[in-house]
Chains A and B, each alone.
Chain A
């Protein structure tokens, strides 16, 4: 599978990516079971186009898009790519600076990115620049809430039991 030497700097599949995309800027590390490469929003499209188009890599399948709220460090997006041809898996992390959660969209490369990005956008308030249909997917269309942010509270059971008054917006 991986015919490039694995090093401390480029573990596992990252070595292969570095070999075939030497210009790509990323920092590689290991997660519990995979390899994670970190890049920034400005270099994302370039990296992903390389990952998809190089026949030695051929990451043609976008498995998953994860939004993350890292609180003080800002929002983060993680992509999981898979290559059917070479049975490779890689995770790409894209941290965004606090207050500026803009990430370029991948919908022109992967059709399946459409709904995944809409979901991450509404759940975290991420903005996917260039998305063709940036509407709410799971929530009602006129809502502007981001439930998966750590700042968004859960309803208390006490409200349900009538012990406490509900906050505005949650009551009906």
Chain B
């Protein structure tokens, strides 16, 4: 039985008891790592004393491949970054290309984009709610509740754009095609079912004593530390700072839409959960307003060249992805391919702060702290 490596057999003196720290490898295959994330936890009994995260098990060369393909071809790789909300990523990518090339987007296309991106955000947040419930230990029931709404949204995506997860529906200069005829009634039905889903989650998790007891006061984060780590999105908002790229640096038509930024107070796990739950509701409001305000007209700029060539351009586009600030740095130096495109993914920065949150908590809490970060390995590893 060689459970402990040799160098760790020396007993450490703690509280008068001779104890031995044990390292536990979690991942890359583990039911709670949300993909292929790996962390090595050093535990003293049940308490985590050290944590070392390892990433890169899904590093598949998004940026390198983008440099090798045409602007329109490369989009397929970008919506596979945050694979829970492909449309949000497509939006950031298209905005980067449009900004460098100076392409105008028709107004109707902007509203369609915002609507689809918000539905993607709902999709991603429901995935979080389901997976988080499973991490806390509710045996898949939360997953099934979440998936009911997700499947409806996927069906709608399929109807509009032709694919469930990665439709590559957006184009530099608009969207691929117009919405189907019955879209408005479909979306209204979708919104009412999503709101029912929020109430179900409220009943299943928010009001559950064990869930509250597990989550409240766990791994609190102050706003200053969160900013220093570069944490954005719901985790930053849970600390009490109402900062959202959609409000702070509005893009697309978000400045014409009325929505609120839900915030928490202590930045603990429960606040992160609650902020996301509230954001789902805000997103349904945005989708409703998009339907009301949507003008007629074209959905794709008719003056686009056949091959998109950009002589010179450089920009850093920031959008509010589902996990935080989803930024795209783009640089063009002629030709039909980007010279460099860099993804600033929110999960990457949020995950970097994992060690600070995990150390000192229980082993079981380490799992739900990781779950509360809501990482997507596709955008962490690029």
Q: Interface on A for B, CB 8 Å cutoff?
A: 31-34, 36, 60-64, 66-69, 78, 80, 84, 87, 89, 91, 110-116, 123, 136-140, 147-148, 152, 154
Contact assessment for A91 and B316 in the assembled complex, using a CB-CB cutoff below 8 Å: yes
**C-alpha spacing A33/B349, complex, angstroms:** 23
User: With A64-B344, A112-B230 known to touch, is A87 a contact of B248 (CB < 8 Å)?
Assistant: yes
Please give me the residue from chain A that is nearest to B99 by CB atom. Answer: A32
User: With A33-B316, A64-B344, A137-B55 known to touch, is A84 a contact of B63 (CB < 8 Å)?
Assistant: no
Q: In the complex, how many angstroms separate the beta carbon of A125 from the nearest chain B beta carbon?
A: 14
Q: Which of B126-134, B178-186, B301-309, B323-331 contacts A (4 or more CB under 8 A)?
A: B323-331
Q: Enumerate chain A residues within 8 angstroms of B56, measured Cβ to Cβ.
A: 136-140
Q: Enumerate chain A residues within 8 angstroms of B248, measured Cβ to Cβ.
A: 87
- Contact residues of B between 234 and 272, Cβ < 8 Å to A: 241, 243, 248-249
Contact assessment for B313 and A60 in the assembled complex, using a CB-CB cutoff below 8 Å: no
Contact assessment for A32 and B100 in the assembled complex, using a CB-CB cutoff below 8 Å: yes
Contact assessment for B227 and A60 in the assembled complex, using a CB-CB cutoff below 8 Å: yes
- Of A34, A36, A66, A112, the contact of B352 (CB 8 Å cutoff): A112
**C-alpha spacing A147/B352, complex, angstroms:** 22
**C-alpha spacing A74/B352, complex, angstroms:** 29
Is B84 part of the binding interface, using a Cβ–Cβ cutoff of 8 Å?
A: no
Number of A-B contacts (CB under 8 A): 98
**C-alpha spacing A33/B97, complex, angstroms:** 12
27 residue pairs of the A-B complex, CB under 8 angstroms, read: A32-B314, A32-B315, A33-B99, A34-B315, A61-B230, A62-B230, A63-B230, A63-B327, A63-B344, A66-B340, A67-B342, A68-B340, A69-B340, A80-B329, A84-B227, A87-B248, A87-B249, A110-B230, A111-B225, A111-B352, A112-B228, A115-B351, A123-B63, A138-B59, A147-B61, A147-B64, A152-B64
**C-alpha spacing A111/B357, complex, angstroms:** 13
- Contact residues of B between 210 and 238, Cβ < 8 Å to A: 225, 227-231
Q: Enumerate chain A residues within 8 angstroms of B64, measured Cβ to Cβ.
A: 147-148, 152, 154
Is B141 part of the binding interface, using a Cβ–Cβ cutoff of 8 Å?
A: no
Pairs of residues from A and B, 3 with the lowest C-beta to C-beta distance, nearest first:
A112-B230, A138-B56, A32-B315
- Of A69, A115, A139, A148, the contact of B349 (CB 8 Å cutoff): A115
Is B94 part of the binding interface, using a Cβ–Cβ cutoff of 8 Å?
A: no
Q: Interface on B for A, CB 8 Å cutoff?
A: 55-56, 59, 61, 63-65, 68, 99-100, 225, 227-231, 241, 243, 248-249, 313-318, 325, 327, 329, 331, 340, 342, 344, 348-349, 351-353, 356, 381-382
Please give me the residue from chain B that is nearest to A78 by CB atom. Answer: B329
Contact assessment for A138 and B381 in the assembled complex, using a CB-CB cutoff below 8 Å: yes
Contact assessment for A89 and B249 in the assembled complex, using a CB-CB cutoff below 8 Å: yes
Q: Enumerate chain A residues within 8 angstroms of B342, measured Cβ to Cβ.
A: 64, 66-67
Q: Enumerate chain A residues within 8 angstroms of B55, measured Cβ to Cβ.
A: 137-138
Contact assessment for A32 and B59 in the assembled complex, using a CB-CB cutoff below 8 Å: no
Contact assessment for B313 and A32 in the assembled complex, using a CB-CB cutoff below 8 Å: yes
Q: In the complex, how many angstroms separate the beta carbon of A121 from the nearest chain B beta carbon?
A: 13
- Apart from the given pairs A64-B342, A138-B55, 19 other A-B contacts in the complex at a CB distance below 8 Å: A31-B313, A32-B313, A32-B314, A34-B315, A60-B228, A61-B230, A69-B340, A84-B227, A84-B241, A84-B243, A87-B248, A111-B353, A112-B353, A116-B349, A136-B56, A138-B56, A139-B56, A148-B63, A154-B68
**C-alpha spacing A113/B227, complex, angstroms:** 11
Please give me the residue from chain A that is nearest to B310 by CB atom. Answer: A32
**C-alpha spacing A87/B249, complex, angstroms:** 8
Contact assessment for A112 and B229 in the assembled complex, using a CB-CB cutoff below 8 Å: yes
Contact assessment for A115 and B316 in the assembled complex, using a CB-CB cutoff below 8 Å: no
**C-alpha spacing A32/B329, complex, angstroms:** 11
Contact assessment for B316 and A34 in the assembled complex, using a CB-CB cutoff below 8 Å: yes
Q: Enumerate chain B residues within 8 angstroms of A137, measured Cβ to Cβ.
A: 55-56
Q: Enumerate chain A residues within 8 angstroms of B381, measured Cβ to Cβ.
A: 138
**C-alpha spacing A147/B67, complex, angstroms:** 12
Please give me the residue from chain A that is nearest to B345 by CB atom. Answer: A64
Contact assessment for A63 and B325 in the assembled complex, using a CB-CB cutoff below 8 Å: yes
Contact assessment for B228 and A31 in the assembled complex, using a CB-CB cutoff below 8 Å: no
User: With A63-B325, A66-B340 known to touch, is A33 a contact of B227 (CB < 8 Å)?
Assistant: no
With most chain A CB atoms within 10 A of its CB, the pick from B229, B231, B248 is B229
Q: In the complex, how many angstroms separate the beta carbon of A83 from the nearest chain B beta carbon?
A: 10
Q: Enumerate chain B residues within 8 angstroms of A78, measured Cβ to Cβ.
A: 329
Please give me the residue from chain A that is nearest to B356 by CB atom. Answer: A111
Q: Enumerate chain A residues within 8 angstroms of B348, measured Cβ to Cβ.
A: 115-116
**C-alpha spacing A64/B329, complex, angstroms:** 9
Q: Enumerate chain B residues within 8 angstroms of A68, measured Cβ to Cβ.
A: 331, 340
Q: Enumerate chain B residues within 8 angstroms of A111, measured Cβ to Cβ.
A: 225, 228-230, 352-353, 356
Please give me the residue from chain A that is nearest to B68 by CB atom. Answer: A154
Q: Enumerate chain B residues within 8 angstroms of A64, measured Cβ to Cβ.
A: 316, 327, 329, 342, 344
**C-alpha spacing A104/B227, complex, angstroms:** 21
Q: Enumerate chain A residues within 8 angstroms of B325, measured Cβ to Cβ.
A: 63
